[in-house]
Amino acid sequence: MSVDAGIVPPASTVCLGDYVWFDLNNNGVQDGNEPQVPGVTVKLYDNNTNTVLQVTTTNRQGKYLFCGLSNGNTYSVGFENLPAGYEFTVSNGALSVSDNSDANPTTGRTTTVTLGSTDDLTLDAGIYSTTTAVVGNYVWYDEDADGIQDPTEAPIPGVLVTLYDNTNTPVSSAVTDANGGYLFTNVTPGNYVIGFSGYPGSFVPTSKGSNASADDDSNIDPNTGLTDVFTVTPGSSNLTLDAGYKANPVAGLG
């Protein structure tokens, strides 16, 4: 286990990035409770010729990155393919600020930046909606079976999460990522429940937390595998819908 490879960027080149997020309060600033946006198309423009040099897509963490760019050249970034019902938030502050939105609300494109000798990871875009909502959030292994997320307890990736409307009809599905997270965007106002399936066969749901709005407890009924009914309002975000699982039986030998 000693055969490694290190890589370095070409001489006199740097990288440009960085982030797209749901700006729930539409203030142009990244707040702690606002989630990332995967799947947004990002284009890098050469401002000398106004041509597109590279195209990429934000990853699960809402991040994007363009590398191999020449020092001293001038670029801008354009964001496209937003989730349906969403638009750009207000542009707030200078390009060099790392926690604001830099996309023009009308065009989705930043102003120009001239790259120096170091990476520029400050070009972000916030988006929001007045008509749809965001719902999530987390599935984990509840080792002590108390229904509360403890710091040492691990996430469970690969769980199928299904969103059902008030007629018990599935309207959307997602799969938990490597960090146990899931996210539904473009959720129209109404009443919903969430179900979880595809978790390891030896697992069963843990105890249900007493506070449905808490962000660190389990929200599923162990008997049904579903959350309680929750209401979605326009432009809202509910990132408290978690599911804890324990081994059945609780103890094992191996």
Q: What is the pLDDT of residues 133-180, one digit of tens each?
A: 989 999 999 988 889 999 999 999 999 999 999 999 999 999 998 889
Residues 193/230, Cβ–Cβ less than 8 Å: yes
**Dihedral over Cα of 200, 213, 137, 147: its sign:** negative
- Residue length of the chain: 254
Cis previous bond, 38, omega within 30? no
Q: For 179-192, how does the pLDDT look when each residue is reduced to its tens digit (9 = 90+)?
A: 899 989 889 999 99
Q: Does pLDDT of 110 surpass 70?
A: yes
Q: Would the pLDDT of 212 be above 70?
A: no
Q: What is the mean pLDDT of residues 120-134?
A: 93
pLDDT tens sequence across 64-85: 999 999 888 999 999 999 988 8
Q: Which of 160, 125, 107, 131 is nearest to 22 (CA)?
A: 125
- Residue 86 tokens read as 């969403």
pLDDT at 216: 86
Determine the average pLDDT of the residues in 95-121. 90
Residue 187, token pair as written in the block? 């959720």
Tokens of 238: 């509910």
Domains of the chain: 13-128 (2.60.40.10), 133-247 (2.60.40.10)
Residues near 227 by beta carbon (within 8 Å), at least 6 away in sequence: 193, 194, 195, 219, 220, 221, 241
pLDDT at 115: 92
Tokens of residue 154, six digits: 């691990």
